[in-house]
Amino acid sequence: MSSRVTKRIVFLSHAQSDADAAQLLKQWLEGVFEGVEVFVSSFWSDIEQGQDWYDEITNAIRESVLGIVLATENSIHRPWINYEMGALKLLNKKVIPLCVGSIRKKQLPSPMNRSHACNYEDQADRLSLLRSIAQSLALPAAWLGMNQAEQAPNISVEALLTEKPQSVQLIPGEQKYPPSLLRGILDLRDRWSTLVYTCRATFSEEECPANSSVPPMRKAVSLHVPVDEVVTLSMLLGYLLPGSPQREEDDICQTILCSTHGAELMRLTDGGESISSIPPGLLERDLIVIGENNVSNHLLTIMAAYLPWQNHNEWRTRDRSSQLRPDVYIELVGHWGLPVPANQKHEVHEGGGMLVSLPNPYNIRKRVIVFFGCHRQGQLTLEQWLRTQDMVDTLNELAERTKDETKETLAIQIVVDRVRSEGGRRGSTFDWPPEAAVVPSLSHNNQRFWVKRLIHHTATDKISIDSRCDGEGELMYDLSLIAPLDIADQKRIRNDIRTLLGDVDSYWEDENCDIGFHITLFEFFTHIRPPDSLVRELRALSTKILSSLNQGDAPHQTIARTRQAETFPGALFSYADFLGEQCETSDWLNDIRVWCEGAVRHATNGKPNGQDPNLNLMRVPFPVHITLCRFDKLLNDEAKKRVRDFITKVRYREFLHIPIKSVWLAAATRTPYRGLSLLGEVLLKGGHSDTK
């Protein structure tokens, strides 16, 4: 049994990168309060030999009299800090956020901002901190004065608090891995990131030990990693792993997984409740996926409707051989407003690859980075490019281009291809190092990447009011392609929500929208307060678009899967995606995009992409979803907590599989989505259209 049960404990929660500051605080507070232990998990001597680190932390939280959260730039967005703070709150412990460095009270995010905080650099606040501790310890506070506050250590030195990512020497004499690679496209303030590499069992006769007792790190090191991914894996692990794995053991849980195990951990269930785990599960982490595998293909398939460069895996006959072989390649496809110039390189095959950064379609609060190589040669080319100055220059250019953007809302693609030899022959597999070059975008002044904004509002814990729900709403004209849910499915969704969430007094879509719950597939245009002359023009264009949809090549029928839940500012929604014949994830939404964009071109007499001011440039909504309710009034704290708990409960849950046999062209004339006219139904492949 731990000897600390006889002591009075103050629990100090902190980010691992702030360990030095935490230990200075520990020494100061233990000097002020004799007989009190300040528990600091990064201080290895605080965890006794032979004890499990997680059990020791849990026991310290349970036995503590209060908690202090060291709030710095490094810590305020870390999930582990929120878990420790939540555990203290659940046990009715007093929690004091201590703002250090550049962080001030008004900058604290939820739930830290719900506790009375102290600014460490303010001497009066430090005295207030000491007296709060004394009160929790049932000690008289009168003896504490400014002299004790003045003796506090200086922990505001930038060098002490600024996180320093580790670099790793890959091979003697080679360049160190530049930390700008991930820093430029992923916010690593959140320590929970997982590397997913290609499982060798997916392309060989090996057996994946995913369900065995082999630890993930040992499995990877024992060459379960394909040879063409070893260097990339080493680079990224060197950056993600902490400098001292023993002291920071909580940082490396599930840091590395093979794609077979990763796919299992991403699987959703059709019943029960999922509970956020410690450490967080895979869908609550940033993902870094190496290679062309079942995880990267799955995610890129879901995102096909949004990405200019799309991946393909086809079986083809090569040259004079009659044997079918897989051809993995990527192709630049034209989107409305983003045409492909005639002289633009638009396909990259064996020997090329791409780096993709995008919001996770299973959890838009998190990011996914994919290092996708076309065959082994492409992965090796990509690995070599990651060591070059060209990579550094490309990311610097990207950082400048996106400096005013919120990176969480962007899809970013960088395409790399192996340079051909002087005779026109692409370098062979055994040419080392392979010479690689970025494929430039000719339609964007030869910039070395493709950037597309997917989201206008980021997911947030803050539950704000949607003022558009008041009264009759504003006049608008919105034309969209939608898939309404039938009455039975709407009732099933609402019953599931009531069971898990309870009753929340809000603007529920099934009660206030003319057609109830529905999935918006494509948005042609939205105009707020349009003049009468524009409304007449838009109605005429709507009729032409409906006619063009009927004449076009409609996609096949499909199954929509509704899953999980999330909040945007002002609304609660459920994700939707689309399944193939074997219930596998499909790119059906991309077929919808191609069909609708073709109808627009036909309706506008082939007007060049993006030149009609009445039409939206961004048409496929991201994420595709069902709006469940809009918050038309301020929720009390208890209702907000139930909404947040509901999102956590259903993180790994799917709700319904809904057949989609037809779609409707709908025009809404009042905000947020009211005054609806169903202009016409189009049956998908095999049906007949009916205009009403």
Phi and psi dihedrals of 305, rounded to 5?
-65, -15
Q: Mean pLDDT, to the nearest integer, of 87-92?
A: 83
Q: Is 50 exceeded by the pLDDT of residue 178?
A: no
Report helix, strand or coil for 247.
Answer: coil
Q: Mean pLDDT, to the nearest integer, of 576-596?
A: 92
pLDDT of the residue at 296 = 95
What Cα–Cα distance (Å) separates residue 82 from each residue in 52, 120, 365, 648? Answer: 21, 20, 15, 14
CB atoms within 10 A of CB 604: 17
Which alpha helices (H) appear in 40-161, and where do they start and end? 53-63, 79-90, 123-136, 146-150, 158-161
Phi and psi dihedrals of 28, rounded to 5?
-65, -50
Report helix, strand or coil for 561.
Answer: strand
Q: Mean pLDDT, to the nearest integer, of 96-105?
A: 88
Report residue 432's pLDDT band, with 50, 70 and 90 as the boundaries. low
pLDDT of the residue at 247 = 40
Which residues share a beta bridge with 627? 573
| pLDDT tens, position by position, 443-461 | 888 999 999 888 877 666 6
Average pLDDT, the chain: 81
Structure tokens at 528: 């707020």
Comma-separated ranges of CATH 3.40.50.450 domains in the chain: 3-161
Rounded Cα–Cα distance for residues 41 and 270 (Å): 38
In this prediction, what percent of the chain has a pLDDT beyond 70?
Answer: 78
Q: Mean pLDDT, to the nearest integer, of 628-635?
A: 92
pLDDT of the residue at 618 = 63
Sheet holding 654-660, edge to edge: 507-508, 625-630, 571-579, 558-568, 654-660
Contact 609, 333 (CB under 8 A): no
Q: 467-691: CATH homologous superfamily?
A: Cyclic phosphodiesterase (3.90.1140.10)
pLDDT of the residue at 274 = 54
Element (H, E) at 438: strand 436-438
Instruction: Choose among 451, 364, 462, 362: nearest CA to 405.
Output: 451
Question: When comparing pLDDT for 89 and 457, which is higher?
Answer: 89
Instruction: Choose among 258, 654, 275, 324: nearest CA to 492.
Output: 654
Q: Mean pLDDT, to the nearest integer, of 463-477?
A: 89
Rounded Cα–Cα distance for residues 517 and 489 (Å): 9
What Cα–Cα distance (Å) separates residue 629 from each residue in 465, 488, 565, 570, 626? Answer: 11, 18, 11, 9, 9
Structure tokens at 678: 């169903």
Q: What angle do CA 12, 17, 20 make, to 5 degrees?
A: 65
Least confident of 166-170, 224-228, 276-280, 314-318: 166-170
Instruction: Choose among 168, 169, 178, 171: nearest CA to 386.
Output: 178
CA 414 to chain centre: 19
Residues in Cβ contact with 388 at an 8 Å cutoff, skipping those fewer than 6 apart: 436
Contact 664, 676 (CB under 8 A): no
Q: Give the torsion sign (CA, 157, 163, 168, 174).
A: negative
Q: Is 70 exceeded by the pLDDT of residue 426?
A: no
Q: Give the torsion sign (CA, 583, 690, 670, 410).
A: positive
| pLDDT tens, position by position, 110-122 | 778 878 899 998 8
Structure tokens at 251: 């940082």
Q: Length of the chain in residues, anyone? A: 692
Structure tokens at 691: 């205009």
Rounded Cα–Cα distance for residues 558 and 581 (Å): 8
pLDDT of the residue at 203 = 78
Contact 548, 603 (CB under 8 A): yes
Angle between helices 637-649 and 487-501 (to 10 degrees): 110
Rounded Cα–Cα distance for residues 363 and 630 (Å): 20
Phi-psi region of 159 (alpha: psi -120 to 50; beta: other; left: phi over 0): alpha
Contact 127, 204 (CB under 8 A): no
Q: Is 70 exceeded by the pLDDT of residue 58?
A: yes
Q: Mean pLDDT, to the nearest integer, of 560-585?
A: 91
Comma-separated ranges of CATH 3.90.1140.10 domains in the chain: 467-691
Report residue 49's pLDDT band, with 50, 70 and 90 as the boundaries. very low
For residues 67-90, one letter each, b for 16 or more C-beta atoms within 10 angstroms of the residue's C-beta and e for the rest, the string is bbbbbbbbbbebbbbbbbbebbee
pLDDT of the residue at 148 = 85
pLDDT of the residue at 164 = 39
Contact 80, 279 (CB under 8 A): yes
Report residue 151's pLDDT band, with 50, 70 and 90 as the boundaries. confident
| pLDDT tens, position by position, 7-39 | 789 999 988 778 888 889 999 999 999 889 999
Q: Which CATH architecture has domain 3-161?
A: 3-Layer(aba) Sandwich (3.40)
Contact 593, 616 (CB under 8 A): no
pLDDT of the residue at 447 = 93
Q: Mean pLDDT, to the nearest integer, of 417-432?
A: 57
Q: Is 50 exceeded by the pLDDT of residue 172?
A: no
Q: Mean pLDDT, to the nearest integer, of 356-368?
A: 92
Q: Measured between alpha carbons, how far apart are the two ends of the chain, in Å?
A: 76
pLDDT of the residue at 137 = 87
